[in-house]
Chain A
Amino acid sequence: MTQPSSAEHVEPPLVELRRIDVAFGGVHAVDDVTVNLYPGEVVALVGGNGAGKTTLIKTLSGAHRADSGAILIDGEPVNIATPRDAKALGIETIYQTLALADNIDTPGNMFLGRELTTPWKTLDDSAMEDATRKVMGRLNPKFTNFKASVSSLSGGQRQSVAIARAVHFNARILIMDEPTAALGPAETAQVADLIRQLKQEGIGIFLISHDIHDVFDLADRISVMLQGKLVGTVDKDDVTIDEVLAMIIIGKLPGEVTRKELEELHG
């Protein structure tokens, strides 16, 4: 039940977060959690507020160090101390906050920390704008506002800048923390299409989402967290939405939960 799809894979997983622990003061934000991800797979991380999803994923994106545990890529242990380390390993992250510098234009944000330079070591703004226009042409063809600072963009446009940044650098592993939170229905559908397209290209995606329907729509497997602990990982095709909700809310696996408890969820 915990690893239903792993039988198909003879290769080691693309990523494995093994027995990760993160504590803030006395609070165990992430407590002995193990999750993994295969190429071309979407694994959804779900759980209530404060379940530890974002903290767990930050250990992979280099924004926060784990107190203990290991991160393995292609079966090899790696050391991720900074966001730069993560990016060097092909891990790109779309943060819930988007992590955009509002005062800088779209190309500047796309290449933040990885600017293209001319042979004289000066910023090559034209080349960066050119690359940005190309990526945006694919992701959001209606986007034309390349010179304005991102503070003047709509929520959806800002989101597409954050997504474009993650996609542009040929990520192997993509972390999406609430990628559709700021979006309307049409834009959400666009992101869903993008996720399917990236999957086709063999990219592994960790998807954090509050929207259980999105999760069922896009994910292959679902890992559920509650109060810092992993409740379990299930194959989407083996479970119902109610069973996943039971995992999220009362922390019981589909086999353990009673009919009465399931009914109470709707009460």
Chain B
Amino acid sequence: MSDTRVAERAAEPAAPSRPRRNLAGRLLRATEVDTRLLGMIVALAVIWVIFNIFSGGTFLTARNLWNLSVQTAVVAIMATGMVLVIVSRNIDLSVGSMLGMVGMAIAILQSEILPDWLGFNHWAIWIIAVVVAIALGALVGGFQGFVVAYAGVPSFIVTLGGLLMWRGVAWAMASGRTIAPMDGTFQILGGGARGSIGSRASWLVAILGCLGAIAMLVSARRQRRRFGFPLRPMWAEVTMGASGCGVILASVYVLNHYFKPAGLAEGRTDIAFGIAVPVLITLGVAMAMTFFANRTKFGRYVFAIGGNPEAAELGGINTRWMVVRTFMVMGILVGIAAVVQVARLNAATTGLGTLAELYVIAAAVIGGTSFSGGIGTIPGAVLGALVMQSLQSGMVLIRIEAAYQDIIVGIVLVIAVGIDTVYRRRMTT
């Protein structure tokens, strides 16, 4: 009996009298792919091609794309958390200042405090610095979340206060000095000459990523078959797997074609950088956050609170505690981003992270996160960060003046959200 019913259900989508769509339409339908995400990828491709034309072919070089990947990391890491904060109808304006404070704290820790105890470049220094950064981020984020959830102060105000306070703390800690240099091992976390994994390991990561993607498709299909749900057509599954693998392999191919200068590679010019460590960290963070958002109760509750706080409450969800946890996750990600940023600069300045909150929020919003709550995706936010960074480094590359760069970024932000709003209105009516 179940077999015939499955067949009937599977046939249903074709039933409406709508005329058969063209190939692209059928592909989109069958793969159930997120059209908004696809739109962003197309927009990103357009931006890249335009910059490549105007820069005389320098934008789409392995070197520039490698740099782009590293520059995107810090904003992308924080944007994955900002998605959850905005989805739950809150905002965190303090992430830039928090990054400054946490970065300053771990910089002082590893260049002025720990060496006295352990000696310079002790193997444990980088570990302690990372743990402290994450713990401090969680603590500060959790504190802000607590004030939002239990004192009922709007998150805009709490984190606006945080924006001022944490910047002040960063200043006070260093009395305005720049702290440098960082621990040798710690610097690897920021990328740079030693902070890449080389071509062989990069290919390994690509192959693992590819196998992982295929395994996920297979297990999802098996799961649906087990319960007798309608299945995607096989050609759609193959298309998805192939395009996923294609993107992964192509990205690594490009990163493996940026070669180290002879001075860094014992005179050789055929040693590739491969994937930079901060990019690996970003990928890890993005995957973990996607997992939390989609596969755990925590993620489900964050989205439920954003969609209808009253319904979440009536469903028995402890909405206040969920808000605290969201801000805590945001804080942890700020801690990770601070590690990457300080390691990359090999220094902590008092201006560290200034205005980062705006880029992070913009990345999340360009990535399809809705300010009315309940809607947003982690991959979208990472793509949003990549779009923002592409615009910025592209404009530097084609030598647009700084003032005009800001004007263009502002215009793009508003237009992107405008298009998204119109698109969404179309979808719901």
Task: Please say whether chains A and B are actual partners in one complex.
Answer: yes
Interface residues of A (CB under 8 A from B): 61, 63, 82-84, 87, 93, 95, 97-104, 108-109, 112-115, 117, 121-123, 126-127, 129-130, 133, 144, 147, 151-152
Q: Does B296 lie within 8 Å of A97, measured CB to CB?
A: no
Q: Nearest CB to that of A87 among chain B residues?
A: B316
Does B418 have its Cβ within 8 Å of any Cβ on chain A?
A: no
Q: Does A99 lie within 8 Å of B310, measured CB to CB?
A: yes
Contact of B315 among A102, A112, A123, A127 (CB under 8 A): A112
Instruction: Report Cα–Cα, A82/B316, bound state, in Å.
Output: 7
Q: Does A99 lie within 8 Å of B315, measured CB to CB?
A: yes
Q: Does B307 lie within 8 Å of A126, measured CB to CB?
A: no
Instruction: Report Cα–Cα, A46/B374, bound state, in Å.
Output: 35
Q: Nearest CB to that of A152 among chain B residues?
A: B428
Contact of B296 among A63, A101, A122, A130 (CB under 8 A): A122
Instruction: Report Cα–Cα, A10/B166, bound state, in Å.
Output: 68
Known: A63-B314, A123-B295. A102 touches B300 (CB 8 A): no
> Using Cβ atoms and an 8 Å threshold, which residues of chain A touch B165?
none
Q: Does A126 lie within 8 Å of B12, measured CB to CB?
A: no
> Using Cβ atoms and an 8 Å threshold, which residues of chain A touch B296?
121-123
> Using Cβ atoms and an 8 Å threshold, which residues of chain B touch A103?
303, 306-307, 374-375
> Using Cβ atoms and an 8 Å threshold, which residues of chain A touch B315?
83, 99, 112-114
Q: Does B428 lie within 8 Å of A126, measured CB to CB?
A: no
Given A103-B307, A122-B295, A130-B227, 19 new contacts (CB under 8 A): A83-B315, A83-B316, A97-B310, A100-B308, A100-B311, A101-B307, A103-B306, A103-B374, A109-B311, A112-B300, A112-B315, A112-B317, A117-B297, A126-B223, A126-B227, A127-B227, A129-B229, A144-B12, A151-B428
B364-414 interface with A by 8 A CB criterion? 374-375
Does B270 have its Cβ within 8 Å of any Cβ on chain A?
A: no
Q: Does A112 lie within 8 Å of B303, measured CB to CB?
A: no
Does B304 have its Cβ within 8 Å of any Cβ on chain A?
A: yes
Instruction: Report Cα–Cα, A100/B312, bound state, in Å.
Output: 8
Instruction: Report Cα–Cα, A114/B300, bound state, in Å.
Output: 11
Give 12 pairs: A residue, B residue, CB < 8 Å, sorted on A.
A83-B316, A95-B314, A101-B308, A102-B308, A103-B303, A104-B303, A104-B307, A117-B297, A122-B295, A123-B297, A126-B224, A126-B229
> Using Cβ atoms and an 8 Å threshold, which residues of chain A touch B32?
147
Q: Does A101 lie within 8 Å of B311, measured CB to CB?
A: yes
Q: Nearest CB to that of A84 among chain B residues?
A: B316
Q: Nearest CB to that of A121 among chain B residues?
A: B296
CB distance from B228 to the nearest CB of A (A): 8
Instruction: Report Cα–Cα, A5/B240, bound state, in Å.
Output: 64
> Using Cβ atoms and an 8 Å threshold, which residues of chain A touch B294?
123
> Using Cβ atoms and an 8 Å threshold, which residues of chain A touch B229?
126, 129-130, 133
Q: Does A129 lie within 8 Å of B227, measured CB to CB?
A: yes
Q: Does A104 lie within 8 Å of B304, measured CB to CB?
A: yes
B280-323 interface with A by 8 A CB criterion? 291, 294-297, 300, 303-304, 306-308, 310-317
Q: Helix, strand, loop or mixed for chain A's interface? A: loop
> Using Cβ atoms and an 8 Å threshold, which residues of chain B touch A147?
32
B4-50 interface with A by 8 A CB criterion? 9, 12, 32
CB distance from A157 to the nearest CB of B (A): 15
Which of A100, A104, A130 neighbours the largest number of chain B CB atoms within 10 Å of its CB? A104
> Using Cβ atoms and an 8 Å threshold, which residues of chain B touch A109?
311
Instruction: Report Cα–Cα, A97/B313, bound state, in Å.
Output: 13
Q: Does A83 lie within 8 Å of B313, measured CB to CB?
A: yes
Instruction: Report Cα–Cα, A239/B187, bound state, in Å.
Output: 84
Instruction: Report Cα–Cα, A58/B226, bound state, in Å.
Output: 40
Instruction: Report Cα–Cα, A211/B9, bound state, in Å.
Output: 37
CB distance from B31 to the nearest CB of A (A): 13
Instruction: Report Cα–Cα, A127/B223, bound state, in Å.
Output: 9
Instruction: Report Cα–Cα, A87/B314, bound state, in Å.
Output: 10
CB distance from A243 to the nearest CB of B (A): 35
Instruction: Report Cα–Cα, A27/B29, bound state, in Å.
Output: 55
Q: Does B300 lie within 8 Å of A108, measured CB to CB?
A: yes
Which of B229, B294, B304, B428 neighbours the largest number of chain A CB atoms within 10 Å of its CB? B304
> Using Cβ atoms and an 8 Å threshold, which residues of chain A touch B295?
122-123
> Using Cβ atoms and an 8 Å threshold, which residues of chain B touch A84?
316
> Using Cβ atoms and an 8 Å threshold, which residues of chain B touch A95?
314
CB distance from A179 to the nearest CB of B (A): 16
Known: A123-B296, A126-B229. A102 touches B374 (CB 8 A): yes
Q: Does B306 lie within 8 Å of A113, measured CB to CB?
A: no
Q: Does B312 lie within 8 Å of A101, measured CB to CB?
A: yes
B213-236 interface with A by 8 A CB criterion? 223-224, 226-227, 229
CB distance from B312 to the nearest CB of A (A): 7
Known: A114-B316, A129-B229. A101 touches B374 (CB 8 A): yes
CB distance from B423 to the nearest CB of A (A): 14
> Using Cβ atoms and an 8 Å threshold, which residues of chain B touch A63?
313-314
Contact of B304 among A112, A122, A127, A129 (CB under 8 A): A112
Q: Does A104 lie within 8 Å of B316, measured CB to CB?
A: no
